[in-house]
C-alpha cells in the first residue's frame, strides 16, 4: 500500500488566533502562495471536488493539499494517487484547525513555490467557521441532499465564506432542493458570496469553478 505523510497536529497555545492568522496570511502573500480553506459538512464531497478541480486545473497551477481529519488517511492517499502533493493532518479529536495548526501543516507539506495550498478542514459546519486559518479564500461546499435550508441554520459558515459550491447537482431530480430559497438564505448571510453549481461526480460546472479559482489565485500571487 502506498505511503502517505501523516502529521499529528499539536494544539496551539497562542492566545490571539486572529493576529496569528493575519501574520500567516501576510507571510504566504509575501511568498506568493494562496491558501484556500475548504469547509463543509461530512460527506458533502470535499475530496471528490478537489479531484475534479485537479483535472480542470490541467496543470495551470502548482498546488498541494492538506487533508485534515480526526482519524484515517484515506483522503490524502486519494489525492496523492491523483498526483497532487498531499499530507494528512490528524487533529486528535479537535473539531477545527486554527492558524497555528495550519502553519504546522504547511511546513509538513513543504511545497516550495506552491501557488495554491488547499486546507481541507474537518467536516463540520460549526466550529471551523469560528477560526481564521490565515486563508486568502474561504470556500464551503453544500451538497444537494443536505437541503436548501443550511445557510439559515449555520449562518456563520456562509458569512465567513467567499465562495459557495453547491455540489451533487446530478442528484437534484431526487431531492427537494429550492435553488432560489437557498440563494436567498445564503445572500442574507453574505450578499457578496459567489455561488457555483457543480457535480464533482459528472464534472458538470467544474470548469467554471476551476477558471474562477485559477484567476483568484494568480491575482493573489502577483
Question: What is the binding site for its own copies (CB under 8 A)?
Answer: 41-43, 69-72, 74, 93, 95, 122-127, 130, 143-147, 149-150, 152-156, 168, 170-171, 174-175
Choose between 38 and 144: whose C-beta lies nearer to its own copies.
Answer: 144
Choose between 150 and 216: whose C-beta lies nearer to its own copies.
Answer: 150
**Do 119 and 38 touch, CB atoms closer than 8 A?**
yes
Choose between 20 and 69: whose C-beta lies nearer to its own copies.
Answer: 69
Nearest CA to 71 out of 85, 50, 91 is that of: 91
Joined grid coordinates for residue 88: 494528512
Least separation in angstroms between CB 150 and its own copies: 6
Choose between 42 and 113: whose C-beta lies nearer to its own copies.
Answer: 42
Which residues make beta-bridge pairs with 36? 118, 137
d(CA 190, CA 118): 22
**Do 116 and 34 touch, CB atoms closer than 8 A?**
yes
Choose between 55 and 153: whose C-beta lies nearer to its own copies.
Answer: 153
Choose between 57 and 154: whose C-beta lies nearer to its own copies.
Answer: 154
Q: What beta strand segments (E) does the chain contain?
A: 6-8, 34-40, 63-69, 86-90, 116-120, 137-143, 163-167, 194-197
Least separation in angstroms between CB 32 and its own copies: 33
Least separation in angstroms between CB 1 and its own copies: 15
Least separation in angstroms between CB 49 and its own copies: 13
**Do 94 and 121 touch, CB atoms closer than 8 A?**
no
> Residue 212 gets which letter from DSSP?
H
Least separation in angstroms between CB 91 and its own copies: 9
Residue position matching grid coordinates 459546519:
125
Least separation in angstroms between CB 3 and its own copies: 18
Joined grid coordinates for residue 29: 502573500
Amino acid at each position: 500500500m502506498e505511503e502517505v505523510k501523516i502529521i499529528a497536529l499539536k494544539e496551539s497555545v497562542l492566545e490571539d488566533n486572529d493576529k496569528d492568522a493575519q501574520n500567516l496570511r501576510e507571510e504566504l502573500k509575501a511568498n506568493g502562495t494562496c491558501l484556500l480553506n475548504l469547509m463543509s459538512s461530512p460527506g458533502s464531497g470535499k475530496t471528490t471536488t478537489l479531484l475534479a478541480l485537479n483535472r480542470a486545473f490541467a496543470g495551470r497551477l502548482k498546488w498541494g493539499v492538506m487533508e485534515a481529519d480526526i482519524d484515517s488517511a484515506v483522503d490524502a492517499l486519494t489525492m496523492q494517487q491523483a498526483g497532487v502533493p498531499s499530507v494528512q493532518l490528524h487533529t486528535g479529536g479537535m473539531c477545527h484547525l486554527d492558524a497555528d495548526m495550519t502553519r504546522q501543516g504547511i511546513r509538513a507539506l513543504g511545497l516550495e513555490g506552491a501557488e495554491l495550498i488547499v486546507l481541507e478542514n474537518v467536516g463540520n459546519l460549526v466550529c471551523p467557521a469560528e477560526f481564521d486559518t490565515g486563508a486568502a479564500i474561504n470556500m464551503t461546499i453544500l451538497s444537494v441532499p443536505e437541503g436548501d435550508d443550511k445557510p439559515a441554520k449555520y449562518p456563520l459558515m456562509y458569512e465567513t465564506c467567499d465562495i459557495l459550491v453547491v455540489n451533487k447537482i446530478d442528484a437534484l431530480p431526487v431531492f427537494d432542493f429550492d435553488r432560489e430559497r437557498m440563494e436567498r438564505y445564503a445572500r442574507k448571510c453574505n450578499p457578496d458570496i459567489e455561488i457555483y453549481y457543480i457535480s464533482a461526480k459528472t464534472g458538470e460546472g467544474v470548469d467554471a469553478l476551476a477558471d474562477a479559482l485559477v484567476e483568484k489565485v494568480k491575482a493573489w500571487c502577483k
